[in-house]
Structure 1
Amino acid sequence: MAKYKYETLADPAANIRLLMLQNGQQDEPLRAKLEHTPMDDRVSYEAVSYSWGSPSETCTILKYIIPKHTIQVEKSGSYFSLAITPNLDNVLRRFRRVEDVRALWIDAVCIDQGTKEEKSAQVGIMDRIYASAQQVLVYLGEPSASTAQAIALLDQIYAAPSNAPPINSDKQRQWINDNQLPTVLEPQRWAPLKEFFCRPWFRRKWIIQETVLARKLIFHCGEWERDWNFMQHVRKNIQDNGLAVLDHTTCPTLLEGAELQQSLSQLNWIITLRDCLSKNKKLHLMDLAYIFRYSRATDPRDHLFALLGVGYNVTDPILKPRYKKIDTILDTCIRYARYFLARTQNLEVLYRAGLNGHRLLAPSWIPDWYGGHETLTLGHAEGFWDPLRRPSSYHVAPGTVPELHWSDNATELGVKGTIIDTIENLANQYFLASAKEPLDKDLLLRRKREHLDESHIINDALPGRYPTGQDARDVHWRTLICNMTHDLSPAPAKADEAAYREYRMSYEVWRQHLLWKRGMAPIDPQYLPVRHLFRQIIDDYNGDKIFGSTQENYVGMFPQFAQKGDMIAVLHGGEFPFVLRRVEGQEKMYQLVGQCYLHGLMEGELNLKDEKYETEIIWLEGDFEKERSLLSSVVTYLQILWTGIVQLYGMVFRAVTAVGSRKVKSD
Structure 2
Amino acid sequence: MAEIYGGCQFCTVWLGEEDATTERAFELIRSMASGSHFEDWSCFSQEFLASLEVHRGSKRELEACILSYSGLLEPLQGLFERPWWSRSWTVQELIFPRLVMVKCGRHEIDWHEISQAHGTLEIHLDRCCAHFRDYLSVEDDHSLYIFDHAFSSVDLLRLDYQDQKLPGAEPHDMIYILALNRKRKASDPRDKVCAFLSLSPPDVRETLRADYDADLVDCYAWPTIHDIRQSRSLGALSHALRYEERANLPSWVPDWSRLSDDDDLQVDRMDIYDLFDAAKGSPAMFSRKERTLSLWGTRQQTILTVGDSVDFGTDDTKISVLQSWFNLWQRIQKCGASVGGDSDSAIPFLRTLMLDTFQPFKQVEHRPGLIEGPTRAHPQDYKACQQWWALACAKNTFAPDLNMEPGPEATLMRSVRQSIDLSMGNQLFFITEGDFIGLGPRTTRVGDAVWIACGGNMPLILRPAEESNSGSSDWQPRYALVGDCYVDGCMDGEAADGLGNDPVEVRIV
Cα contact 1:415–1:571 (8 A) shared by 2: yes
Other-structure match for 1:299: 188
Other-structure match for 1:375: 261
Cα shift at 1:579? 1.0
Cα contact 1:134–1:215 (8 A) shared by 2: yes
Cα contact 1:354–1:594 (8 A) shared by 2: yes
SS in 1 for 2:376: coil
SS in 1 for 2:358: coil
Structure 2, unmatched stretches of 5+, are: 53-65, 337-342, 361-373, 471-476
Other-structure match for 2:84: 201
CA distance in 1, matches of 2:146, 2:450: 33
CA distance in 2, matches of 1:302, 1:516: 41
SS in 2 for 1:177: helix
1:594 maps onto 2:483 in alignment: yes
Q: Which one-letter code corresponds to 1:265 in the other structure?
A: S
SS in 1 for 2:332: coil
Cα shift at 1:187? 5.9
1:616 maps onto 2:504 in alignment: yes
CA distance in 2, matches of 1:345, 1:526: 42
SS in 1 for 2:439: strand
Cα shift at 1:253? 12
The number of residue pairs the alignment matches comes to: 451
Cα shift at 1:129? 0.8
**Inter-CA distance 424–523: structure 2 relative to 1 (3 Å threshold):** farther
Which residue, out of 320, 333, 351, partners 2:209?
320
1:287 maps onto 2:176 in alignment: yes
1:473 maps onto 2:343 in alignment: no
Other-structure match for 1:403: 285
Other-structure match for 2:334: 464
Cα shift at 1:203? 2.2
Cα shift at 1:424? 2.4
1:236 maps onto 2:113 in alignment: no
SS in 2 for 1:402: coil
Other-structure match for 2:453: 571
Q: Which one-letter code corresponds to 2:221 in the other structure?
A: I
Cα shift at 1:483? 1.7
CA distance in 1, matches of 2:301, 2:141: 35
Higher mean C-alpha displacement, 148-157 vs 597-606? 148-157
Q: Which one-letter code corresponds to 1:477 in the other structure?
A: L
**Inter-CA distance 312–484: structure 2 relative to 1 (3 Å threshold):** same
Cα contact 1:424–1:551 (8 A) shared by 2: yes
SS in 1 for 2:72: helix
CA distance in 2, matches of 1:474, 1:334: 40
CA distance in 2, matches of 1:565, 1:508: 33
Cα contact 2:27–2:42 (8 A) shared by 1: no
CA distance in 2, matches of 1:274, 1:572: 32
CA distance in 2, matches of 1:418, 1:617: 8
Cα shift at 1:561? 2.1
CA distance in 2, matches of 1:153, 1:526: 32
Other-structure match for 2:295: 415
**Inter-CA distance 353–253: structure 2 relative to 1 (3 Å threshold):** farther
**Inter-CA distance 331–232: structure 2 relative to 1 (3 Å threshold):** same
Q: Which one-letter code corresponds to 2:277 in the other structure?
A: H
Q: Which one-letter code corresponds to 1:341 in the other structure?
A: I
Q: How does 1:36-47 map to 2 (within 5 A)?
A: none
Other-structure match for 1:664: none
Q: Which one-letter code corresponds to 1:509 in the other structure?
A: L
CA distance in 2, matches of 1:344, 1:516: 38
CA distance in 1, matches of 2:306, 2:143: 29
Q: Which one-letter code corresponds to 1:486 in the other structure?
A: Q
Other-structure match for 1:152: 27
**Inter-CA distance 232–255: structure 2 relative to 1 (3 Å threshold):** closer
Other-structure match for 2:323: 453
Cα shift at 1:237? 2.4
Structure 1, unmatched stretches of 5+, are: 1-125, 163-174, 432-440, 622-667
CA distance in 1, matches of 2:248, 2:281: 34
SS in 2 for 1:601: coil
**Structure-2-length-normalised TM-score:** 0.77
Q: How does 1:23-42 map to 2 (within 5 A)?
A: none
Cα shift at 1:194? 2.6
1:262 maps onto 2:149 in alignment: yes
Cα shift at 1:401? 2.7
State the structure with more CA Rg. 1
SS in 1 for 2:357: coil
- Judging by fraction of residues, say which structure has more helix: 2
**Inter-CA distance 541–399: structure 2 relative to 1 (3 Å threshold):** closer
Cα shift at 1:460? 1.7
Q: How does 1:19-168 map to 2 (within 5 A)?
A: 126-133=1-8, 135-158=10-33, 160-161=34-35
Cα contact 1:308–1:314 (8 A) shared by 2: no
Cα contact 2:23–2:107 (8 A) shared by 1: no
SS in 1 for 2:39: helix
Cα contact 2:76–2:144 (8 A) shared by 1: no
Identity rate of aligned residues, in percent? Answer: 21
SS in 1 for 2:265: coil
Cα shift at 1:595? 0.7
Cα shift at 1:214? 1.8
Post-superposition Cα deviations, 1:499-536, rounded to whole Å, max 9, x if no partner, equal 6533321332233344489xxxx879996463223202
Higher mean C-alpha displacement, 293-302 vs 597-606? 293-302
**Inter-CA distance 328–458: structure 2 relative to 1 (3 Å threshold):** same
CA distance in 2, matches of 1:253, 1:188: 6
CA distance in 1, matches of 2:94, 2:215: 28
Other-structure match for 2:440: 558
Cα shift at 1:308? 1.9
**Inter-CA distance 258–329: structure 2 relative to 1 (3 Å threshold):** farther
Post-superposition Cα deviations, 1:437-494, rounded to whole Å, max 9, x if no partner, equal xxxx9x332441342132122122224359xxx965222211100122214333234x
Cα contact 1:381–1:543 (8 A) shared by 2: no
CA distance in 2, matches of 1:545, 1:516: 16
Cα contact 1:428–1:450 (8 A) shared by 2: no
Cα shift at 1:251? 5.3
1:485 maps onto 2:358 in alignment: yes
Cα contact 1:219–1:226 (8 A) shared by 2: yes
1:582 maps onto 2:464 in alignment: yes
